[in-house]
Amino acid sequence: MAATMKDIARETGLGLATISKYFNGGTVKENNRLLIEAAVKKLHYVPNEMARSLKTKQSRVIGVVIPELSNAFITSIISAMEDILRKKDYAIVVCDCRSDPRHEKEAVEFLLHRRVDGLINMATDPTGRHLKAALDADIPILLVDRLIDSLRGRTSAVVIDNAHAAGQAVRKLTGLGHRKIGLVLGSPHLYTTNCRLTGYLDALKEAGIVPSEGFIRYGDYTLDGGYQAVQSLMAMEDRPTALFVTNFEMTLGAMLALNQGGVRVPEDLSVIGFDKLELFGAIFPDLTLIRQPQLSIGRESANLMLDLLNNRDSASHRIVTLSTELTEGKSVRAFTEQATV
């Protein structure tokens, strides 16, 4: 059905090689150029990228495996990546593995069959087993947001400085005199969870505060999890005077729990949230929060991948660490005795 280069060769009376050269930016006699262009129009010729890929051994496709597509943090990163990659004529095929390691592994294999030139992964499986096949295939792998210990040196990565981010928040709070600081973390064992916990503990230590297990909750990075965590935190007899919540959804959940529980922010409780996504600003405009640079994460990832693709030989794996920012709002105030009433 569809016209091929052969068709346009016949139509123009030229050889295949000439047509090919024309499409690849080679020099062709003016006259022949016109001929070719006319034939292309006439026959609705569309180059077949698959055939080309077979020959060049480059699919110009990057596989992207993520835990969840319906997550604003993730989609904003992907948008930024796609922008850059598509400009370089790379397509991305996104696989949402629903935070299921089994699906994740299948997704990687699926993409490998399709001969993606590279793989970008926001890993669900912290062991990195799902990437074994990709490692074998020797294509560049880029981890985003979450590092995998066992793969150190074998992949590149773009992450934020999680420990520092948590430290920023907690130091802000201790600086204001708070000593009982609640922490709402994501699922245990997740890379970001651990890092943020470390940052929290370090900052407390700095301030000479002995951490209390009771102030630490795991909220699964979900709205509901954050809601529950904060409810239980507020139900303590000796409850925290300040709170640091470590992702977007949980911060939302936390605020809802506080609103519903009649806890005033910052009068009764100082709160620092996480991730300034669009919706957020609108809903809780005055929240103090730690902002991750999603745009930069996406851009850096795309550029790093492009780099990796162009320097296949060198084992040039890098870890890019982006820093976060503390956005001042009005949800934090200095600790005073009365505040805890």
> Is residue 44 within the footprint of DNA (CB under 7 A)?
no
* Cα–Cα distance measured from residue 94 to residue 40, given in angstroms and rounded to the nearest whole number: 32
Report the partner that residue 13 touches, choosing among DNA, its own copies, none (CB closer than 5 to 8 A by kind). Answer: DNA
Nearer to DNA, 28 or 84 (CB): 28
> Is residue 94 within the footprint of its own copies (CB under 8 A)?
yes
> Is residue 222 within the footprint of DNA (CB under 7 A)?
no
C-alpha angle 278-282-283 in degrees, rounded to nearest 5: 115
Q: Kindly state the smallest distance separating residue 59's Cβ from DNA, in Å.
A: 12
Q: Which of 38, 42, 56, 87 binds DNA (CB under 7 A)?
A: 56
Q: Using an 8 Å Cβ cutoff, are 184 and 226 in contact?
A: yes
Report the partner that residue 18 touches, choosing among DNA, its own copies, none (CB closer than 5 to 8 A by kind). Answer: DNA
Task: Report the candidate in 39, 121, 56 with the shortest Cα–Cα distance to residue 135.
Answer: 121
> Is residue 26 within the footprint of DNA (CB under 7 A)?
yes
Report the partner that residue 28 touches, choosing among its own copies, DNA, none (CB closer than 5 to 8 A by kind). Answer: DNA
> Is residue 109 within the footprint of DNA (CB under 7 A)?
no
Distances 285 to 279, 309, 328, 329 between C-alpha atoms, Å: 9, 41, 11, 8
Q: Kindly state the smallest distance separating residue 24's Cβ from its own copies, in Å.
A: 14
Q: Kindly state the smallest distance separating residue 283's Cβ from DNA, in Å.
A: 50
Task: Report the candidate in 283, 236, 243, 238 with the shortest Cα–Cα distance to residue 265.
Answer: 243
DSSP, residue by residue, 237-290 = TT--SEEEE-SHHHHHHHHHHHHHHT--TTTT-EEEEE---HHHHHHSTT-EEE
Cis peptide leading into 240, omega within 30 of 0?
no
**Pairing verdict, β 288-291 and 325-327:** antiparallel
* Cα–Cα distance measured from residue 219 to residue 212, given in angstroms and rounded to the nearest whole number: 17
Q: Kindly state the smallest distance separating residue 253's Cβ from its own copies, in Å.
A: 7
Give the per-residue contact string, 57-76, with DNA (x = CB under 7 A; - = no).
x-------------------
Nearer to its own copies, 65 or 181 (CB): 65
Residues found near DNA in the complex (CB under 7 A) = 2, 4-6, 13-18, 20-21, 23-24, 26-29, 31-32, 47-48, 51-52, 54-57
